[in-house]
Amino acid sequence: MKHSGSLLIVDDNPDILIAARLLLKQHYQSVKTTDNPFDIAGIINEQRKLEQPIDVILLDMNFTQDSISGKEGFYWLKKIIEQDANIVVLLMTAYGDIQLAVDAIKAGASDFIAKPWQNEQLLGAVTAAFSHAKDKQQVGKLTRQKQGLNQALNTPNFEFLGQSNAMQQVFSTIEKAAQTDANILITGESGTGKELTAHAIHQASMRHSQTFMSLDMGAVAQNLFESELFGHKKGAFTDAKADHIGKFELAQGGSLFLDELGNLPLEHQAKLLAALQNRQITPVGSSKAVDIDIRLICATNDNLDQAVSEGRFRQDLLYRINTVEIRLPALRERSDGIPLLANYYLKHFAQKYKRSLTISDDDMSALCQYAWPGNVRELAHAIERAVILTEGDKLDISSVVGNSASVSTDEKTQSTEVLNNVAQYDTFDLDILEQRTVRAALKHHQGNVSHAAKALGLTRGAMYRRLEKYGL
């Protein structure tokens, strides 16, 4: 059976063309020939159009103008590589010497054949060239797939917006810090946009075409931190059924985002510090260290200075990760930015649910006065819910504010009251408000933690930490 694949033979000697074609035609589906190297580019284009692209070119080194130096062969080799780097070129000459062969391979040829050839020798070289071409095409395909995956992983679902002075400052710090490889710590309450910030840093950095890999430390089981970060070898522990690549290695060349870093237990903090200091990691169960090249971005809504003073977080690790610190202000501290965000999310969800809705000026100022304990995430969820619930063409604000989980009339009335009576809040203590909101969500969802977490826009890990924090 003939192999699929296309071959082009270029030689000014018609006898050579006939002999090579006769032999190779028995083994390969498509064998083209030409005695004029100026035809090469046209044949490559033609075959591409026919969806039978040339995989391998057998190229003579000396055409009539200059019969022994091989210069012409090098010239055409260069032209072919410029036109299509996936084509594998085999050079041939009757005046072969070792130096010419070495130079040909240095210039990008895959091999070198001396004329006259033994048929087996030529067949062997062409077979190897086809397999080389297949590998090159596979690598090209994988590279394109990786670029596509990187692009998908690196692109968050929403734009990163900010109008307020506070956010303008954040954007300017991101721009400056992104240009360097400095470790960056992003702090701020839940829902303020720490993850969006991490993406923005990666996008503005030199590493933007590489991988952005993230790990939510709040969602990692206690016994898996090391393996998630550094990987493990098959058999390293009972459940290690196969080798596992850790996030550090997956992020190689790109950025590694460690979210909710405050959750990393002390015993693992030392290992993270060592990895950052040595720029090397060792997978669990391996004795071989792997060099790493990543930009580290960490985020937390914990107060790490306080965690240090309470002995929960290593001071030396904090110094290592916070070369640049970006603090994201709570939404209530930048209420002048609320209209931009509210309109953006209204437009987004109106499109999604095929509605045409606007927000009245009064309602917009009400949105600006509300304290948004869940920050932008709460605002986005509230608007999505209101878009679903509103019956007219003006967004029904009473269903929006302060009531992320509920749709009942009672609770709607309550939230309207909350909105109308901002001044009558009995407290603005966020911990207390958060605790109440968590309780309300749990009650509404009859104690179902997953549902309540979803309604609050929290990950399960973040929800469990709050349950623990408030003893619920």
Contact footprint for ligand ATP (CB under 6 A): 158-162, 188, 190-196, 259, 299, 301, 341, 376-377, 380, 462
Provide, rounded to whole angstroms, the least separation between the CB of residue 193 and ligand ATP.
Answer: 3
192 vs 227 by CB, closer to ligand ATP: 192
Provide, rounded to whole angstroms, the least separation between the CB of residue 188 and ligand ATP.
Answer: 6
CA quadruple 237, 239, 240, 245: dihedral sign: negative
The DSSP annotation for 336-355 comes to GGHHHHHHHHHHHHHHHTT-
Provide, rounded to whole angstroms, the least separation between the CB of residue 301 and ligand ATP.
Answer: 5
Provide, rounded to whole angstroms, the least separation between the CB of residue 225 and ligand ATP.
Answer: 18
Residue type, 148: G
190 vs 437 by CB, closer to ligand ATP: 190
Distance of CA 204 to the CA centre of its chain: 13
320 vs 460 by CB, closer to ligand ATP: 460
Provide, rounded to whole angstroms, the least separation between the CB of residue 194 and ligand ATP.
Answer: 3
36 vs 450 by CB, closer to ligand ATP: 450
Closest residue to bound ligand ATP by CB = 193
List alpha helices for 155-192, DSSP H. 165-178
Provide, rounded to whole angstroms, the least separation between the CB of residue 213 and ligand ATP.
Answer: 16
**Structure-token match 């169960």, residue found:** 285
CA–CA distance, 60 with 43 (Å, rounded to integer): 16
Provide, rounded to whole angstroms, the least separation between the CB of residue 335 and ligand ATP.
Answer: 13
* Residue 46 in tokens: 């033609």
Q: Find all residues with CB under 8 Å of 110, minimum gap 6, and list them.
A: 88, 89, 90, 128, 129, 132
Parallel, antiparallel, or unpaired: how do β-strands 280-281 and 290-291 relate?
Answer: antiparallel
Residue type, 23: L
47 vs 343 by CB, closer to ligand ATP: 343
6 vs 301 by CB, closer to ligand ATP: 301
In 198-294, where do the E strands start and end?
Answer: 212-216, 255-259, 280-281, 290-291
CA–CA distance, 461 with 373 (Å, rounded to integer): 18
CA–CA distance, 446 with 440 (Å, rounded to integer): 10
440 vs 458 by CB, closer to ligand ATP: 458
